Amino acid sequence: AQSVTQPDIHITVSEGASLELRCNYSYGATPYLFWYVQSPGQGLQLLLKYFSGDTLVQGIKGFEAEFKRSQSSFNLRKPSVHWSDAAEYFCAVGARGSTLGRLYFGRGTQLTVWP
């Protein structure tokens, strides 16, 4: 069965510190991989996605993620966190194909940034 695990429900970091959010997935084959961010009461904004090619993916707002096939992981990183990064982060996977089908989401990681 397909599933996404985000083992950290809540992470607190100081502004300027580095950040890594973990994501592990279970899927029949290498899926498409996504990271989304959600501010309170808002929809989801795409940070970055991995479809193929270079396993280190650059996204918006200075985020990057690395796909590691051997570990079934797609961890999100940022070298220096800003207070505006405080939000909820979701990892998601979807089946490969010519059209994008359903996504399976993790339960999210809430990020708090201390000034």
Partner 1 sequence: DAGVTQSPTHLIKTRGQQVTLRCSPKSGHDTVSWYQQALGQGPQFIFQYYEEEERQRGNFPDRFSGHQFPNYSSELNVNALLLGDSALYLCASSLKNSGYTFGSGTRLTVV
Closest to partner 1 by CB, 74 vs 90, is 90
| Least distance from partner 1 to the Cβ atom of residue 71, Å | 21
| Least distance from partner 1 to the Cβ atom of residue 34, Å | 7
Binding site for partner 1 (CB under 8 A): 4, 32, 34, 36, 41-46, 49, 51, 90, 92, 97-108
State the Cα angle at 29 between 25 and 31, rounded to 5°: 60
Closest to partner 1 by CB, 68 vs 96, is 96
Sequence length of the chain is 115
Closest to partner 1 by CB, 10 vs 16, is 10
